[in-house]
Structure 1
Amino acid sequence: MDVVLEISDAYVFDNVYAKLFPVPEKVTTLLKTNIASLEFLSDLSKNLSLPYIPVKPYEYTVIPAPEAAYLTTVPRTNIFRQSLSLFLLTWFFGIILYYLFASLSYFLIFDKRTMNHPKYLKNQIRMEMQQAMSAMPFMSALTVPWFLLECHGYGKLYWHASDHSKAYLFWQYPLFIAFTDFSIYLIHRGLHHPLVYKHLHKPHHKWIVPTPFASHAFHPVDGYLQSLPYHWFGFIFPLHKLSYLILFSFINIWTILIHDGEYMTSNPLINGAACHTLHHLYFNYNYGQFTTLWDRIGSSYRIPDASLFDHDKKMSKSTWKNQSAEMEKIVKEVEADDDRTYLNENESVEAKKEK
């Protein structure tokens, strides 16, 4: 996130903070008179540029600091400014990724016949969006301390490829998947403990038949807890900064894909949309994020029925009836009372369209 923050400061935040918290006019005149001096700029930049940039700012930063960087009383090194900027960046890009890829999945992949399922909720997509939007600012705020630590060099993120072998540039990806898959399995299964579930994880299980917009519809603490392994990895294992950004984006996209109801693979190792659909239907199975390995080891794996990979059979009323009957038995064990409001099974498809 240090590179993202550096770029954002230069293009956005330097100007914003200079307008909101400007230096006195006399100081502005002095700075503008001397700012062309590289020696003066170098000395001043040491106090403004983030300390993890290990070179002279005016020569090697991602982009040169604009004039506005020196015209604010809240310099780049101010931890409150860094925290606010990181919070806004996390929140903003979280919303962009969510709406962009969830919308693409909804319009291009998601089978709209799913909305005829007897366990599809009234106004479901609207409620999924509302839950996601209400959770994102809190999840972003909780994430800021991790980004601050990463930015200030306390993790093992690195920029220069020569810092580690070329082979590791490849192996860091499967290592990341393996580590986070195991960690999230433990956290996710823990969130299903009766003492925890009703307080934190139940809001995400409101969606028995999820749409892509359910992907980020969490209680904020639930969503934050399941994101922790992504941060832990960079403090335990080396991780290239560009790879970190790629994996951060991939995680968000993957989360959407496993909620889209399109069962693209029946590979027994991959915990894809079919496995995760069963998790939403039957609660106590398929806790994994990427693979089925830990579910198999933990005796929580449920193999998706072959009928789920048939586009017609998986949408048949007989399939839905069987799913609903089993779900109703399990929901009594997990939640006791089912307080969801379902669409009337006899409503027309047109009446079910979200407004």
Structure 2
Amino acid sequence: MDVILNTCDRYFFTPYIYPVDWAEDNIIRQSLSLYVFLVFVSFLAYLSTATLFYVFLYDKRLMQHPQYLKNQISLEIKCAMKSPLLGALLFLPFFVGEIRGFSKLYDNVTDYGGWPFIALSVVSFVMVTDFLVYLAHRGLHHPLVYRSVHKVHHAWKIPTPFSSIAMHPVDAWMQGLPYHIYPYLFPINKYLHLGLFLMVNVWAVSIHDGYFMVPDSLKPMINGAAHHTDHHLYFNYNYGQYFTLWDRIFGSFRDPTAYEGKSPLDEVIKNNSK
């Protein structure tokens, strides 16, 4: 993030926005700059990624399902537009801490054992965050917080790619925390962390896209759109982010209806054939 902020300072904030006597390393200036950047990028990443998945992968026949809401996509976008405004503020301390050197992010591949450690970091990041997101997501279903926080996201019984961040900002913050906590607990290359963070956002869209095609050999392991669609429909199952591991261990796994020919799309096709 420090590289991105330095680039923004050089080409935008310093020449056009801030007074010349306001130092680039001033924590207030850094916080303001990061907040503006995070809100802008969140909007851009969400709208562009969701639109691409909607155009090229989402099966529009799902919009004929009885539980698909009238004007649902516009409602999802309207809901999602609120999330980054508060979400960026909630995540801001983590980003400020990173650029001020309080995390374990590092610059050079050789700093921690080279490429083998890079490979280990990928595995560690995915497994650790997958476990923590599972815990956060399942916690959001607790009656004390579900109605006021997570219920917003479950309004979309038949999710679309635009459902991905159509949620309460606190919901987004709780499920996003693991990705921001990780570099404070474990060393990870800053460029790798950025790449993995982008992957996380693409994955969040992909599990809402209704595209159920997963290689047969991976179906028992991967928590894809088929699993997550059933989570929206049946509530207490398939909390996982990437894998089915934690759902299986903690007893919340459910075989996707899509793999049994009983998915929402199968229902639409059946109804249309009558």
TM over 0.5: yes
Match of 1:136 among 81, 84, 97: 84
Which residue does the alignment assign to 2:131?
182
Counterpart position of 1:276: 228
2:157 corresponds, among 199, 208, 216, to 208
**TM, length-normalised to structure 2:** 0.94
* TM-aligned CA distance change 1:309 to 1:169, over 3 Å: farther
Instruction: Note the residue ranges of structure 1 that are not aligned, 5 or more in a row.
Output: 22-71, 320-355
Could you say what secondary structure the match of 1:5 adopts? helix
Quote the Cα distance in structure 2 between the aligned partners of 1:151 and 1:135: 23
1:73 Cα deviation after fit = 2.5
Task: Among all aligned residue pairs of Structure 1 and Structure 2, give the percentage whose two residues are the same amino acid.
Answer: 46
Q: Which one-letter code corresponds to 2:25 in the other structure? A: T
Q: Is the 8 A contact 2:61 2:265 kept in 1?
A: no
AA of the residue aligned to 2:246: W
Shift of 1:74: 1.6
Partners of 1:191 and 1:201 within 8 A in 2: yes
In the alignment, the residues of structure 1 paired with residue 64 and residue 260 of structure 2 have an alpha-carbon distance, to the nearest angstrom, of: 18
After superposition, the CA RMSD in angstroms is 1.7
**Alignment size in residue pairs:** 267
Sort the Cα spacing of 1:176 and 1:8 in 2 relative to 1 into closer, same or farther, 3 A.
Answer: same
Moved more, 238-247 or 309-318: 309-318
Q: Are 1:196 and 2:145 counterparts? A: yes
Deviation of the 1:314 alpha carbon: 5.2
Report the AA paired with residue 89 of structure 2: A
> Does residue 1:316 correspond to 2:264, yes or no?
no
Q: 1:281 to 1:164 in 2, by over 3 A?
A: same
Which of 39, 60, 72 lines up with 1:124 in the alignment?
72
- Matched with 2:119 is 170
Q: Is the 8 A contact 2:65 2:264 kept in 1?
A: no
Matched position secondary structure for 2:81: helix
Equivalent residue, structure 1, for 2:253: 301
Residue type of the partner of 1:238?
A: P
- How far 1:80 moved relative to its partner? 1.1
For residues 200-252 of structure 1, the C-alpha deviation after alignment (integer angstroms, 9 at most, x for no partner) is: 10000000001100001010011011100001110111110101110111111
1:244 aligned onto 2:216: no
Relative distance call for 1:241 and 1:314 in structure 2 (3 A) is: farther
Aligned to 1:154: 102
Gap change, CA 1:199 and 1:310, over 3 Å in 2: closer
Q: How many angstroms does 1:317 deviate by?
A: 4.0
AA partner of residue 222 (structure 1): D
Task: Mark the CA change 1:249 to 1:309 in structure 2 (over 3 Å): closer, same or farther.
Answer: farther
Residue ranges of structure 2 left out of the alignment (5+ in a row): none
Structure whose alpha-carbon radius of gyration is higher: 1
Aligned partner of 1:230 in structure 2 is: 179
Q: Conserved in 2, the CA contact under 8 Å of 1:263 and 1:308?
A: no
Give 1:153 shift: 0.9
Structure 2 vs 1, CA of residues 161 and 309 (structure 1 numbering), >3 Å: closer, same or farther? Answer: farther
Deviation of 1:290 (Å) = 0.6
